[in-house]
Amino acid sequence: MASNFLRLRKPYYVESTINCSSSSDQKLVNLSFGIDETRNQTKKRQAKEHHGRRSCLDSCCWVTGYLCTTWWLLLFLYHCCLPFTVVHEVPQLMPAARLKREGLTGIHPVVLVPGIVTGGLELWEGKPCADGLFRKRLWGGGGFTQLLKRPLCWLEHLSLHNETGLDPPGIRVRPVPGLFGADYSAPGYFVWDVLVKNLAKIGYEGKNLHMAAYDWRLSFQNTEVRDCALSRLKSKIELMYRANGNKKVVVVPHSMGVAYFLHFLKWVETPPPMGGGGGLGWCAEHIKAIVNIGPSFLGVPKAVSNILSAEGKDVAYFRAMAPGVLDSGTLGLRALEHVMRVSRTWDSVVSLMPKGGETIWGNMDWSPEDEHVCDFSKKRYFRLSPSDNNVNKSNAKQVFRVKDPVKYGRIISFGKAASVLHSSQLPTAVLKEILHMSASRNFTSSCGEAWTEYDEMSRESIQKIGAADKAYTATTLFDLLRFVAPKMMNRTEAHFSHGIADNLDDPKYNHYKFWSNPLEMKLPDAPNMEIYCSYGVGIPTERSYVYKLSPSNKCKRIPYQIDTSVDGEDRSCLKSGVYFADGDESVPVLSAGFMCAKGWKGRTRFNPSGINTYVREYQSKPLTSGIKSTAHVDIMGNIALIEDILRVAAGATGEEIGGNKIYSDILRMSERINLRL
C-alpha cells in the first residue's frame, strides 16, 4: 500500500523540483525520469514474461493453498468461532460468577492434563529449512501457519525417530510449558481457556493451578526418559500440596491425558529406576479426586483407521467430495501418505488402540452395543431397573430394538457383506494367511524412497489382506497391523499392552507397558480418592469401518481406504462406510464409561481399595454449541461440566454434586460384558 502511495506522489515531486531548478538541471531530471520510466517498463515486461512461464504446478499449488485456507476457515467458523463467541458474549452464563456469589471458593489445588494434539509444541533445534523458528510453535496456537509456509519441513520436524520413538538426529521439539501451552489449539479454538477463566474467578492462580505439559507424541514412559515429565509432575503435585496447607490435589485429565495420568498413578508408587519411588501411600496422601473428561480408557476405533489408512470419517468424506485432491499425483500432494509417515512415528497413537479385545469390543457376531439405536434425534435410553438410582430420573423406560443388530465387533470389514453376514459365511483362514505372509516378508520396493511401510509389501499380500468378505475384530486386527505396520508395532508394543490380565499379582504387570491399560493394572490403595468419568453422549461416534482396496495400485499409495459409497438404510448406523454408535464424536460411550460403571465399581480386582467412581454424562442437544456442547473438545466449555469441576475443586464429593448422572445405555452395555471382576 505504501509503495502505491509513493508511486502516485512521484510525478508531483519531480515537477516541483523542475520548477525550482535551472534549465540544465531540468534536462538532467527529465533524462533521469526517462531512464526510470524505461527501467520500470522493462521490469514490468520481465515480470509479465516470468508470469507467463509459471509452471502448471505453481498454479495448482496456489489453488490448493486457497482451498486449504478456505477449508480451515470453514472448520473454524463451524467448530470454533460460534462456541467461542457464545461463551464470551454471555458472561452471565459462566458458572463461576454465579457460584462465587453463592460463596464458593477454591480449596484444593488443580492440575490439568492435556490430551493428544491439544498441547503446544515448540522448536528448540531444527534443520536448515526451519531457520528462524527457534522457540516458535510448530503445533498449537499459531503453529499451523507453518503448514502452509513449509509443509514438508513442518512434517519432518513433527516426526520422531522410527526405531527409538525419540528425537531424530538434529531435531528437538519440546512441549510448550504452562497454561499458555494448551489454552487454545488454534486462534479462536479454545481447549482449556474457558475452564481456566472459571477457575480464576473463584481464586485460582499460579500457586494452586498447573498445566502438566508433556510431549503427547511420545510413549508415556519416554516422556520421563527424555524430559523427566513424570518426575516434574510428581514434584509439582507435592509442592502444591504443601503450599496450599496440605490440601489434596484435584486432577483433571482430558482424552488421552486420562491414560497418561493412569500411567502416572502406577509410576509414582513404583520403586526406581522404573518408577518414581513415592511409595504405596503417595496417591492416598496427595490426590483428592480425578475428574476425567472425555476419557479414552479402553481406546478408540478411530485409532485403527488412522494407522491403517490415515483416515477418519472427516477425511473419508472430504476424499469422497474431492477425490482428486488428496490422492492427486499431478499436484504431487500425497497428503495422506505424508500424514501416515509422520503419525506412525508417534507412539501415542497406539496407546489409543482398543483395549480388552473381543471381551470388551465384541466378536464377529456379538457386541455390547447390540440393539443400539442410531436415530439419535428420537433415541430413548435404557433404564436398568425402576429402583436403580444410577440412572437419571428423566430418562424414559423404553428400549428400542432393531431387527438386524449391527455387528460392531467387526471393527474393520472389507466390503459391506463382510460387515453384515454371519461369521459362518465368511473366510476363517485370515490369521493363518497373515502369519504365513509375514514370515516370508522380503519384498523389495522398486518405488525408490518409501513413504509408508506399504511400499515394502507385495501387491499379492495387499490384495489377500483386503480381499472382500474379510473382517477383523479387536483381537485379530492386531495381527493385521503387525503385518501392515511392523516397524511401528514392534516399537510401540514394547511400551503398551491392550489385553486383559488374568492375574494382576503376576510380577510381569509391574512393567510400565501395562500401566496405562485399566484392565491390566490395579488402582492405588486410596479408598478416599474419587474417580469421575465425565463425557458427552448422544453424538454419532465412529465405531467400525467398511474398507475397500484403493483404485490406484501405483507406488507410494496407501492401498486401503474407507468405502464411502457404502450406506445403510434410512436411520441406519452405517453412513459413508462408517458404523456409528453413541459417544462424544471421538470416544464411544463403551470406552469412556465402562470402567466407572462396572470395571471399578465397588471393590473389584482392578479397584481393590474400593475407590468411589461416578459416571457423569452430559447429553447432547440438537444445534447446541459452546456452553452446551458435549463434543469431545467443545465439552471443555460446557457450563454443566465446568460447574461440576468447580464444585469438586471447592471440596464437594461425588454424592454432593448428584452422584451418577447417566443418559446412555452404558449400564446395559456393561452388563453384557462378561469380564471377571
Residues annotated catalytic, as ranges: 255, 584, 632
Helix-then-strand count for the chain, H and E: 26, 17
Chain center to CA of 120:
13
Q: List, in sequence order, every residue forming a beta bridge with 661; answer none if it has no partner.
A: 616
Contact status, residue 543 vs residue 579, Cβ threshold 8 Å: yes
Counting beta carbons within 10 angstroms of the beta carbon of residue 147, is it exposed (0 to 12), middle (13 to 18) or buried (19 or more)? middle
Quote the distance between the C-alpha of residue 123 and its chain's center: 21
Distance from C-alpha of 480 to C-alpha of 457, rounded to nearest angstrom: 13
CB atoms within 10 A of CB 467: 15
**Measured between alpha carbons, how far is 421 from 497 in angstroms, rounded to an integer?**
31
The answer to whether the CB of 547 falls within 8 A of the CB of 562 is yes
Distance CA 391, CA 516 (A): 29
Grid cell in block for residue 555: 507406488
Cβ proximity of 146 and 132 under 8 Å: no
365 vs 127: CA distance, rounded Å:
51
Q: Which long-range contacts (CB under 8 A, 24 or more apart) does 144-153 make?
A: 144/72, 144/186, 148/65, 148/68, 148/69, 151/338, 152/338, 153/127, 153/129
Using only C-alpha atoms, the chain has a radius of gyration, in whole angstroms, of: 28
Q: Could you give the angle at which helices 229-243 and 256-269 cross, rounded to 10 degrees?
A: 80
Q: Which one-letter amino acid corresponds to residue 343? A: S
To which residue does cell 512441549 refer? 175
Give the CA dihedral 308, 314, 315, 321, nearest 10 degrees: 140
Cell, residue 78: 463451524
> What is the widest separation between alpha-carbon atoms in the chain?
108
Distance CA 677, CA 205 (A): 41
Label the pairing between strands 470-472 and 412-414.
Answer: antiparallel
Instruction: Please tell me the total number of residues recorded for the chain in this structure.
Output: 677
Mark residue 116 as left, alpha or beta (left: phi above 0; alpha: psi -120 to 50; beta: remaining): beta
The grid cell for 338 is: 505424508
Q: In angstroms, what CA-CA distances link 282 with 99, 187, 242, 307?
A: 32, 39, 14, 37
The residues pairing with 604 across neighbouring beta strands, listed in sequence order, are 607
Nearest CA among 439, 509, 482 for reference residue 350:
482
- The answer to whether 414 touches 545, Cβ cutoff 8 Å, is no
Under 8 Å between Cβ of 278 and 234: yes
